[in-house]
Amino acid sequence: MTSVASTSYYSSPSYRTNAGSSNRASESAYDALYSNQQRETKPEAKVAVDTSGSGVPIDTTPSTATTSFQGKLIDLSSIFQGSDLPLAKPVWELPEDQYRDYLETQRSFLEMDERVLAQQHTRYPDLSNDPRFKPYAEIVVKGKVVATIDNQGIAVSKDPAWSERYRDVMGSLNGTVGPDLAERTAKAIAKALGGRVVKQETAMNQLSFERFQSPDPWIDYDAMKGDKAYAELQERRFDLQKLETRRAQYLSEVA
């Protein structure tokens, strides 16, 4: 089956929370990642300074940071374990520029992993019954259906050579996607083939086509919260909050 369309085509709408979801309609994709963050206090993070004198802080305590490689989560702490660098200042006692660099780097990694997790639990609507993809008209030549045009204006034929023979006809019909384009497409093809247009019961008009809204992709929050990676991300965010609190305490002590 061969499909031929104009250079204009249907573009799916942007993300919107599923209306049938039990979650709040206005809840953003990542709100759930920032809740339920009460965790037990972990040992305070320590850093080591590169003996070369660069002064770059290195976190020598086990980290919960992970990355995805070939579909698997890898604990980044395993890469740095076994370091014999001497312990130096805690992270919260670093100079302001080094502390900010460390904090922003950790936040960036965390937010990236949160986006990945949300994407992994994104669900997409079933568009098999979307009226915009239903037939607008058929082209009949000598009693035989040779092409079908859907409500978007996309023409489909079972003849493998059809797209090459009538590509020029389709290329001249650029315009707004929808039934108006479908009507022009059907007439142009019928004229070129010496056939007739048979409008279908599922044909839409341009106004109803443009006003139609199908469900957008949504995030399955229940499944996401049940994911082991979700708890790990929550703990990483809580650790950063604790670090900021300890930093504020340190600055007040040395002021």
Residue-wise pLDDT tens digits, 73-106: 434 443 333 344 444 789 999 999 999 999 999 9
pLDDT at 213: 86
Is 218 contained in some domain?
A: no
Predicted confidence band at 167 (pLDDT cuts at 50, 70, 90)?
Answer: low
pLDDT at 176: 79
Question: What average pLDDT does the segment 153-162 reach?
Answer: 79
Does 97 share its domain with 143?
A: no
Is 5 contained in some domain?
A: no
Does 193 share its domain with 147?
A: yes
Is 180 contained in some domain?
A: yes
Residue-wise pLDDT tens digits, 17-32: 343 443 443 344 444 4
CB 30 within 8 A of CB 115: yes
pLDDT at 28: 44
pLDDT at 49: 42
Q: Is the pTM of this model over 0.75?
A: no
Annotate 99-110 with three-state secondary structure: HHHHHHHHHHHH
Does 116 share its domain with 51?
A: yes
Is 28 contained in some domain?
A: no
Considering the chain, what percentage of its residues have pLDDT values greater than 70? 60
Segment (H or E) for 211: helix 206-211
Residue-wise pLDDT tens digits, 184-198: 989 988 888 889 999
Q: Flag whether pLDDT at 44 surpasses 60.
A: no
Q: How many domains does the chain have?
A: 2
- Distances in Å between the alpha carbon of 76 and those of 24, 67, 194, 227? 34, 7, 67, 19
DSSP 137-184: EEEEETTEEEEEEETTS-EEES-TTHHHHTHHHHHT----TTHHHHHH
Q: Which domain holds residue 192?
A: 133-211
Is 23 contained in some domain?
A: no
Residue-wise pLDDT tens digits, 209-233: 999 988 889 999 999 999 999 999 9
User: What percent of the residues of the chain are helix, what percent strand, and what percent coil, each to the nearest 5?
Assistant: 40, 20, 40
Does 190 share its domain with 80?
A: no
User: Which residues make Cβ contacts (< 8 Å) with residue 11, sequence separation at least 6?
Assistant: none
Is 110 contained in some domain?
A: yes
